[in-house]
């Protein structure tokens, strides 16, 4: 039986049977695999486009150790190339545990999470220094390896290799992995090749902030971290202006004041809960309007979770208006820039800064009117 290497050249498999290879392909989730077995004819058509056999040495050059080692395949998952070495018996494959960890207070961890972190063969951590403190607090000595946004493309294949032989726990610095971190790609890749993925639930800054916000939250929209660039941030806010569900976002201390100002311009003076340092020593929850929050937070410190009141149904019923056309008409009528922008805010629901930028563009001379 033959398959092809990356250049399309035929190579001979050094393993004794088709069943071993077909089992590995079945576990990979390849669409060609409808059952655990596959015909020799189908295998002869198996090309390097999806998975490529990694060993290209002739059979007579294979050592006993190489013969005993499971095959290695290349594929794609999570948008990156992966390489996974699979045991022939599915029962020997590990499990990927997605473990929620404390968002501040190290005591906020479940008994199940402590047990799993102590039983797995390896812990993949966003920051090994942060996780080391957590493990030391609970007397856990499981080996650690880093897995974060700067090394995930190289570490993902290695973690899949580990999962072929042992259980692995995935943790982030705080909360549940897979949200605003590369854990999602590992989960996607592991699931794609047949690894069982189990969640170990626990702390969440999102739900904790909602619980203490005091705002009516029958549903919510999670915005993640608001964009860093001002124009991108304003566009993101403008896209949510008619959303009647509450909005939840994360923000850093050095961008908080600008973010609150953009939220005020884009959404109006809505109620907001600004949650700072949740579960930590200096935990604080500010409840008020966006304008009051701007006045309250001077030189903010810590990590912030914002819960913003959704739009009222009456506000969402405002008909859609072309802001540029409206401003052109107002300018043609001799209305000042300030008054034109104020009217456009009420008519369109867009922020003052964005509308004023449109005014400057159509006026040509930058006049305030």
| Residue from 77, 81, 71 nearest 18 by CA | 71
Distance between CA 242 and CA 311 in Å, rounded?
6
3-state secondary structure of 174: coil
Block residue for tokens 């063969």 = 121
* Average pLDDT of span 195-215: 95
pLDDT in tens, 42-86: 333 333 333 333 333 343 444 444 444 443 444 454 444 444 444
Q: Are both 91-203 and 206-314 of the same fold?
A: no
3-state secondary structure of 168: strand
Distance between CA 265 and CA 253 in Å, rounded?
19
pLDDT at residue 10, as a whole number: 54
DSSP result, 57-95: S-GGG--HHHHHSPPEEEEEETTEEEEEE--SSGGG--E
Cβ atoms of 355 and 323 within 8 Å: the answer is yes
Higher pLDDT, 364 or 208: 208
Cβ atoms of 103 and 208 within 8 Å: the answer is yes
* DSSP letter assigned to residue 7: T
User: Which residues are 168's β-sheet partners?
Assistant: 96, 122
Cβ atoms of 244 and 316 within 8 Å: the answer is yes
Residue 154 has pLDDT above 80, yes or no: yes
3-state secondary structure of 343: helix
CATH superfamily of 91-203: Tetrapyrrole methylase, N-terminal domain (3.40.1010.10)
Instruction: Give the CA-trace dihedral at 237, 344, 291, 235, to 10 degrees.
Output: 10
Task: Write the CB contacts of 40 (distance below 8 Å, at least 6 apart in sequence).
Answer: 1, 18
pLDDT at residue 90, as a whole number: 58
pLDDT at residue 343, as a whole number: 87
Cβ atoms of 247 and 310 within 8 Å: the answer is yes
* N residues, the chain: 369
Cβ atoms of 47 and 6 within 8 Å: the answer is no
210-235: string of b/e by CB count within 10 Å (b at 16+)?
Answer: beebebebeebeebeebbeeeeebbe
Block residue for tokens 């090994």 = 128
User: Residue 39: pLDDT band by 50, 70, 90 thresholds?
Assistant: very low
User: Which residues are 76's β-sheet partners?
Assistant: 81
pLDDT at residue 5, as a whole number: 47
Cβ atoms of 249 and 308 within 8 Å: the answer is yes
Task: Write the CB contacts of 158 (distance below 8 Å, at least 6 apart in sequence).
Answer: 145
pLDDT in tens, 138-149: 999 999 999 998
pLDDT at residue 345, as a whole number: 86
DSSP result, 30-65: -TT-SSS---HHHHHT--TTT--BS--S-GGG--HH
* DSSP letter assigned to residue 288: E
* DSSP letter assigned to residue 179: S
Cβ atoms of 94 and 194 within 8 Å: the answer is no
Other residues' Cβ atoms within 10 Å of the Cβ of residue 85: 18
- Domain extent listing, the chain: 2-69, 91-203, 206-314, 323-363
Instruction: Measure CA of the first residue to CA of the last residue in the chain; give whole Å.
Output: 80
Other residues' Cβ atoms within 10 Å of the Cβ of residue 307: 25
pLDDT at residue 320, as a whole number: 56
3-state secondary structure of 158: helix
pLDDT at residue 8, as a whole number: 55
CATH class of this structure's domain 206-314? alpha beta
Distance between CA 146 and CA 143 in Å, rounded?
10
pLDDT at residue 162, as a whole number: 94
3-state secondary structure of 291: helix
């Amino acid at each position: 039986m033959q398959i092809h290497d990356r250049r399309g050249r035929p190579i001979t498999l050094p393993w004794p049977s088709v069943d071993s290879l077909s089992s590995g392909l079945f576990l990979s989730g390849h669409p060609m695999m409808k059952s655990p077995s596959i015909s020799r004819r189908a295998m002869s058509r198996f090309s390097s486009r999806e998975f490529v056999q990694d060993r290209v040495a002739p059979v007579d050059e294979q050592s006993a150790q190489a013969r005993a080692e499971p095959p290695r395949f290349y594929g794609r998952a999570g948008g990156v190339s992966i390489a996974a070495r699979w045991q022939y018996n599915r029962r020997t494959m590990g499990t990927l545990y997605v473990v929620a960890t404390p968002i501040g207070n190290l005591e906020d961890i479940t008994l199940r999470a402590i047990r799993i972190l102590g039983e797995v063969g390896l812990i993949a951590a966003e920051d090994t220094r942060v996780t080391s403190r957590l493990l030391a607090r609970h007397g856990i000595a499981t080996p650690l390896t880093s897995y974060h946004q700067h090394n995930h493309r190289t570490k993902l294949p290695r973690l899949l290799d580990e999962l072929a032989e042992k259980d692995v726990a995935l943790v982030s610095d705080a909360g549940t992995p897979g949200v605003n971190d590369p854990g999602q790609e590992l989960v996607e890749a592991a699931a794609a090749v047949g690894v069982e993925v189990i969640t170990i639930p626990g702390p969440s800054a999102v739900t904790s902030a909602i619980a203490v916000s005091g705002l009516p939250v029958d549903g919510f929209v999670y915005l993640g971290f608001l964009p860093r660039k001002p124009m991108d941030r304003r566009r993101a806010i403008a896209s949510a202006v008619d959303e009647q569900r509450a909005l939840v976002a994360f923000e850093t201390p050095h961008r908080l004041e600008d973010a609150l100002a953009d939220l005020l311009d884009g959404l109006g003076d809505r109620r907001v809960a600004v949650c700072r340092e949740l579960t930590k020593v200096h935990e604080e929850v500010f409840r008020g309007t966006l304008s009051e929050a701007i006045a309250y937070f001077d030189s903010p410190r810590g990590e912030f979770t914002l819960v913003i009141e959704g739009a009222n149904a009456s506000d969402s019923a405002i008909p859609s208006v072309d802001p540029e056309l409206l401003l052109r008409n107002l300018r043609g009528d001799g209305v000042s820039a300030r008054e034109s922008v104020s009217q456009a805010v009420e008519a369109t629901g867009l922020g003052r800064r964005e509308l004023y930028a449109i005014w400057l563009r159509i006026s040509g001379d930058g006049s305030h009117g």
